[in-house]
Amino acid sequence: MAIRVVTDQAPIQAPTVTGRRGALGSVARGLTRNRKALAGLGVFGLFVVVAILAPVIAPYDPHALQFDQMLQPSRAHLLGTTGTGQDIFSQLLFGTRESLLIALGAGLGATLVSVIIGVSAAYMGGVPDHFLNLFTDFFLVLPTLPLMIIIGTYLNNRGLVVLIGVIVITGWSYGARQLRAQALSLRNREFLEAARVRGERSLYIIVFEILPNMTSLIVAIFFGAALYAVLAAAGLQFIGLGDPNSLSWGTMLYWAQANGALLAGSPVWVLAPGLCIAALGGAFALINYAFDEIGNPALRPVRRRK
Amino acid sequence: MSYLVRRLEFFFITLWATLTMNFILPRIMPGNPAEAMLVRYHGRVSPQTIKAIEVAFGLNSNESIFQQYLEYLRNTVTGNFGTSVTFFPVPVGDVIKQGLPWTLGLVGMATIIAFALGTLLGMLSAWRRGGIFDAILPPVFIVISAFPYFWLGLLFLLAFALTLGWFPLGFAYDLTDSINLSWSFAGQVLWHGFLPALTIVITSVGGWILTMRNTMITTLAEDYVKMARAKGLSPVRIMLMYAGRNAILPNLTGFAMSLGFVISGAILVEIVFNYPGLGFTLLQAVHSEDYALMQTLFLMITLAVLLAVLAADVLTAILDPRTREQG
């Protein structure tokens, strides 16, 4: 699926300690200076605009069954029609909404879980850390798709909340591992020592002293998790574990496959939603990778001197 | 050998956790899917089979949960997984035995090829830092690895099977033929397996390229590489035997930890190509709500991944002298 190769060397260097207010600002600066990040943000922004303006741009009601079936792309139907006579272009525009919602919702949920587990493991240390770490590694090696399929089949509720929940359960471990490594490197820094001496509570130290210094990694993990969510949701919906009546790119692919779109000579029905999934996923992957470069200057592209 | 001991501990703990999760999942799910299944079974199977299903899904309320757990473990260890509804009356174990070689062959070969190719390309990319190769490969593969596996499979199907007709539309061999040991049959298997394998290789190779490149960049800055250069060793020797050799180890650990992701994608590839492996069987099990088959498939796929992780760990222990020290 995505780039999810785990090494112990990745962006595990201690971040430079920034002031509390400067944290988000430095993330923004890093993003706008990196070409890969800018390309990713551009595509992502485009999809956000499409999702918001879908009712304005879409030429037809995406659910309406009013057209001839399996029409080829034409001026009236930019991408043709489905096997039940819906306009594919309109479906694609409206489908952006649910696909984005799943990506951002599940991405946020998974990031939250990984912050809680990763940071508390590093902060507590000792036996709790050992077990939380084991727990994380277990979820990391577990083949997530079969697990998602099983939970999805049992629940038999094909709603959005279930879909997002399943993705969160299976998608937090990678981020937790990275966060733990970075939090460990911060643990013995002087400013944390100072906070402890001041007598601050653990919760205060974690939320106001540790987390702001990991902002850039947390944002990177969010985009990594969002990428995972895009691909996982597409896979689950493709095999029919989503709500078949909902409108999203994965569901469109499900119907295209169920109607044998490729064999029936309507490749656009398969190509268009898949291309959107790949574009959104690619955008998230680029942003995520740009953060690796920001956090680890050795990886930045070098220019050869002439 | 403390490294291997720790990894063995991890293997057994994860194995136990998987078995236990497999036991708990159907019991904590709302409603009772297994009861519906029993109704469908009624009158079709022997009382022993009914009993086995009751044990597997916790319908037998006479027994305590602990007794159920022990009986479940015993059944699992002895390979008694119950009967499949989809392929009735074939036992689940036999259904899995049919699918397993196909998945192992396809996913195993594709993953090893992708790993070897990715490691080599990543090594070259880091070595020629800033060259054309290094400028193009990383961004291209960042984007490609964000493609859904199954969608790329559909694309290949459209381009190479439907439009060009170079490859078959799916399945693992010609359906007119039966499984036999002959050169022509082996050729069929390769021909049918090419597109699914290509899909897996292309979508997973990017991850290996990028991590290998990134660790190799770190290794290239090490003093022993400078030393080797100062001694005037040939560049190829430095690249392969000094920097590359040391960069491979973290990549190998990453390889093991990422197998779960690869197999998840491979399952979807099998579905797209109707490839008769475990992933395709899983889909059939889901569609016919064949819970016994579904659970066992999950168990088997996880077991395969855990064994592969263990194998990579053993390999790391052999390759890396540091793991043999205490600490």
Q: Which residues of B touch A248 (CB under 8 A)?
A: none
pTM of the predicted model over 0.95: no
Q: Do A150 and B295 touch (CB under 8 A)?
A: yes
- The answer as to whether A19 is a domain residue is no
Chain B closest CA to A298's CA: distance in Å? 7
Whether residues B130 and A137 touch (CB distance < 8 A) is answered with no
Residue A60 lies in a domain: no
Residue A288 placed within a domain: yes
Q: Which residue is listed with tokens 């304005």?
A: A56
Does residue A152 lie within any of the structural domains? yes
SS3 B91: strand
A3: closest CA of chain B, how far (Å): 5
- Number of domains composing chain A: 1
CB contact under 8 A, A299 and B148: no
pLDDT at residue B327 greater than cutoff 50: no
The predicted-structure confidence for B251-303, as pLDDT tens digits, reads as follows: 887 777 778 778 888 888 998 888 888 888 888 888 877 777 888 888 888 88
Within a domain: A305: no
- ipTM for the whole complex: 0.81
Cβ contacts from A onto B, under 8 A: 201
In a domain, A23, yes or no: no
Taking residue B89's Cβ as centre, other Cβ atoms within 10 Å add up to 11
* Residue B31 with chain A: CB contacts under 8 Å: 156
Q: Which domain holds residue A102?
A: 30-54+87-297
Which tens digits make up the pLDDT trace of A240-263?
888 888 889 999 999 888 887 777
Q: What is the CATH number of the domain that holds A195?
A: 1.10.3720.10
Q: At what angle do helices B245-272 and A144-155 cross, to 10 degrees?
A: 30
Classify residue A161: in a domain, yes or no: yes
Long-range contacts formed by B24-31: CB under 8 A, 24+ apart? B25/A150, B25/A151, B25/A154, B25/B295, B26/A154, B26/B56, B26/B57, B26/B58, B26/B291, B26/B295, B27/B57, B27/B58, B27/B65, B29/A151, B29/A154, B29/A155, B30/A155, B31/A156
C-alpha to C-alpha distance for B84 and B202, rounded to whole angstroms: 35
CA distance A164 to A99: 11
In a domain, residue A39? The reply is yes
Q: Spell out which residues of chain B touch residue A296, defining contact as CB-CB under 8 Å.
A: 214
Spell out which residues of chain B touch residue A3, defining contact as CB-CB under 8 Å: 142, 145, 206-207, 210-211
**Per-10-residue mean pLDDT for chain A, 306 residues long?**
43 50 66 81 92 82 75 75 79 91 95 92 86 89 86 79 90 89 83 85 84 85 93 90 86 86 81 92 89 70 52
Closest partner residue to A267 among B13, B135, B158, by Cβ?
A: B158
What does the pLDDT look like over A95-130, one tens digit per residue?
999 999 999 999 999 999 999 999 888 888 888 888
Cβ-Cβ contacts under 8 Å, B151 against chain A: 234, 253, 270, 274, 277-278
Q: Cβ separation of A146 and B267 shorter than 8 Å?
A: yes
Tell me the residue type at B97. Answer: K
CB atoms A5 and B251 under 8 Å: yes
Residue B140, classed as helix, strand or coil, is: helix
